[in-house]
A = this chain, B = another copy of it.
Amino acid sequence: MNSSIVSFSLIVNMPMEIENYIFQQQQVVESALRKFVTEKSKKPRILHEAIDYCLFSGGKRLRPILCLAGAHTVCLKSDCALPLACAVECIHTYSLVHDDLPSMDNDDFRRGKPSLHKIYGEALAILTGDALLALAFEIASLCSPVGKNYPVSQMIWELARTAGSRALVGGQAADLEAEGKEIGLNQLRYIHCRKTAALITTSLRLGAMAADADKKTLNLITRYGRSLGLAFQIIDDILDVTQTTEVLGKSAGKDQKAQKATYPRIMGLEYSKKAAEFYTQKALCYASMLGEKGKLLSDLANFLLTRKK
């Protein structure tokens, strides 16, 4: 897969737009994911069809790109982080499939297409999510870090913690519990940290760890990730209010309908925009502390602040 990797030297030496970087990394992730899920045996057929349906449905690949960017920030190549990048995408995709289920957020659309359970039914959607979660660890276990500071078992531990009851799943449980209730900003931040910022931070960290980051760099990347993750979720909440279903590719206004705990609902739209800017600035600040090698992360943060979907 070496040929398709964009090296960091390319990024810093050429006036390459961040959009191009993102596009190229999307291709890298796409082809790596295909490689990991393509095997001779596709039995049971319908289950593997469902896995393909949700894994290759035009996702932005944000988390894997952040994982590769975490590696690029530390060293020239990101091959070492590719299995981890694919693993975080599998975890993200599984969480969307389960979140969309009727007993959860009950969403009929995802990425402009019917949600998985609308096509394959609830039982198979649950099983597909389960299979993707297991697949994440299967793929992650194939990672070959460039150094010895972070063994694969440690990265698996971190990935599992992030997917589990104290982060991703815990955040979704707290989010469901908060529906229709009056909650404060602290509780909202608690949910956002777990539901969104945790996997974004871990994506960046795993990439950096695979590339054998020193402690100081890893620390700054971690802080960058936490701020970026919060900014990302606030922007997501804002877009739910301000954009159409067509643009988003998922049901717009669904947070309001479900009386979800969101920034706009609790703090209003203007405050939410300021909060998104605040956390983006915070992320930019940590990126700048990385010096020249933090430029990629700065560009990514700026790009995400101005995204439209």
Binding site for B on A (CB under 8 A): 39, 41, 43-44, 46-48, 51, 94, 98, 101, 103-104, 121-124, 126-127, 129-131, 133-138, 140-143, 151-154, 156-157, 159-161, 163-166, 168-170, 172-174, 176-177
Cβ–Cβ contact A131 & B169, under 8 A: yes
> Smallest CB–CB gap between A144 and chain B, Å?
9
Cβ–Cβ contact B103 & A164, under 8 A: no
Cβ-closest chain B residue relative to A173: B47
> Smallest CB–CB gap between A286 and chain B, Å?
26
Cβ–Cβ contact B174 & A44, under 8 A: yes
Q: How far is the CA of A304 from the CA of B169 in the complex (A)?
A: 36
Cβ of A151: which chain B residues have Cβ within 8 Å of it?
A: 152
Cβ-closest chain B residue relative to A47: B173
Cβ-closest chain B residue relative to A170: B44
Cβ of A94: which chain B residues have Cβ within 8 Å of it?
A: 130
Q: How far is the CA of A51 from the CA of B98 in the complex (A)?
A: 18
Cβ-closest chain B residue relative to A117: B103
Cβ–Cβ contact A173 & B46, under 8 A: yes
Given contacts A156-B153, A173-B44, contact A134 B133 (CB under 8 A): yes
Cβ-closest chain B residue relative to A155: B141
Cβ of A177: which chain B residues have Cβ within 8 Å of it?
A: 44, 46
